[in-house]
Structure 1
Amino acid sequence: MRLASIYRYPVKGLSPEALEFADLDADGYFPGDRVFALENGPSGFDPAAPEHQPKVKFLMLMRNGALAGLATRYDHASGVLTIAQKGREVARGDLRSAEGRAAIETFLTGFLGDEIRGPVRLLQAPEGFRFTDSKSGFVSLVNLASVKAIEEVQGASVDPLRFRANLYIDRAERWAEADWPGKTFQLGGATLTVLKMTDRCAATGVEPGSGRRDMDLVQTIRKAFGHIDCGVYARIERGGRVTRGDALALV
């Protein structure tokens, strides 16, 4: 098995960023991943005492599919988030400043219109916390062979980015990941213990890049395979660098 690609999602619900490598820390989250979230009306999130919140409290693809039609890029060095639509920049803001955050919030409020339940507010995760869908969402992995199996029963091309994983694995058997929970793997310089399968929601029905809701992959998976899972969550047991092309091997 091999690490085919690596992605992080700096802002929950917005664009993925491809990486050549990532330096993982033991007992940490995936670096630069889900550091920000966009509150869809008051969520009750307290940065001084952060607790995991249901994803429905934030802008996300399950309900706000149009977000996938935006191309976003976050520069970690400068703190600037840019948003483009159909190749044209439509918003830019330094997320370290109130003015920069307001520029992003104002654009998204207007862009989503009636979908907004309340004021959009950009939140930043405090140290040791991330806006993951699951409390176990330290690192997410998807088996590309399983995506291929879904694609075949769907009868149409399925972009693996619909599953918004950090690490995409190829050269594994289809649905091999169903046997991974509880097992530990070596990947590059890191060691990962798989915690559980990842159950899927309507976000997978949104086409990356266009924002069109063109499939119901949850029902496709349920009818064809008897579950709604695709991928796994893992904990980082030992930190180290993982690089595209690294082997994934059972310890």
Structure 2
Amino acid sequence: MITVTDLYRYPVKGLSAEPLAVLEVSPEHGIPWDREYAVALGTTAFDPARPEPLDKGFFLMLRNNEELAALRTRFDPATTTLSIHKGEAQVLSADLSTEGGRAQVETYMQHYLGPATKGRPRVLQSENHKFTDASVMSPVMMRAVSVINLASVRALGSALGREIHPLRFRGNIYVTGLEPWDELAWAGKDLTIGGLRFRGLERTPRCGAVNVNPETAERDENLPKALMRNFGHTDLGVYLQALDDGAVRSGDRVVLAA
């Protein structure tokens, strides 16, 4: 039996995961508030009125800015307020719907990361646009749902002789009950999760962002290299397209179409 264990969204690209009891999905919008915002480098040109998908290198993100993993964030959709904690202290609470709130985040990130922001960074949001890594591939991929097979994470950890934290892979839906790497065969297949229909899109290739330990904010592994060396590919996880409006819950069963 394949079962959902954990659910997450990432309201601001590159910042921490938000655990959820219920994950809403829709074909038109993907996951509400997932990668809704991004913090662009000072050198990035982006027009919110005419959004064009950009490579993740145009934004603050873990591949280049591992210090982001030391921040714990929470976003309240009802008030559009982002709270940032470092250690036990709250360092910021800002309303991202206001110019002043966005400016607070921009100032904090510029001071926190220094020259890495390449000038003053900019908090971005654009209607019907998501700042997902896969956005550059197609509008469907922009709204894709990321699934992580915990057995694949464990297999990678076994090959390295150490436990690998699953949140390195920043998935939306984590599942158990599969053999390692079975999820890679879901591309092109139909399935249901808790009765909602999905279609497998693409295997998820991994970049240097997964080298950052989400607990220590240290770049302590080269996981794409380890994947290739031990398994002959750099993929872990799969992207799905939601075909129904509804919600996924922890404990839901995953059933592949016959």
Runs of 4+ in 1 over 4 A off after TM superposition: none
- State the partner residue of 1:134: 134
Distance in 2, matches of 1:201 and 1:243, equals 28
TM-score between the two structures when normalised by the length of structure 2: 0.94
Distance in 2, matches of 1:42 and 1:238, equals 39
C-alpha displacement at 1:238, in angstroms? 1.8
- 1:180 corresponds to 2:181: no
Alignment of 1:201-212 (within 5 A): 201-212=207-218
- 1:243 corresponds to 2:249: yes
Give the counterpart of 1:145 among 143, 147, 151: 151
Distance in 2, matches of 1:107 and 1:223, equals 39
- State the partner residue of 1:213: 219
Give structure 1 stretches of 5+ with no counterpart: none
- Deviation string 1:42-84 (CA, Å, 9 cap, x unpaired) is 3222222212100000000000000000111111111111111
Distance in 2, matches of 1:241 and 1:196, equals 22
Say which SS state the counterpart of residue 134 (structure 1) adopts.
Answer: helix
- State the partner residue of 1:191: 197
TM-score between the two structures when normalised by the length of structure 1: 0.97
- 1:224 corresponds to 2:239: no
Alignment of 1:77-88 (within 5 A): 77-88=78-89
C-alpha displacement at 1:28, in angstroms? 2.6
C-alpha displacement at 1:230, in angstroms? 0.5
Distance in 2, matches of 1:248 and 1:229, equals 21
Aligned pairs, number: 250
- State the partner residue of 2:123: 122
Distance in 1, matches of 2:45 and 2:103, equals 19
Distance in 2, matches of 1:112 and 1:149, equals 34
Say which SS state the counterpart of residue 129 (structure 2) adopts.
Answer: coil
Give structure 2 stretches of 5+ with no counterpart: 136-140
Distance in 2, matches of 1:178 and 1:209, equals 27
Say which SS state the counterpart of residue 3 (structure 1) adopts.
Answer: strand
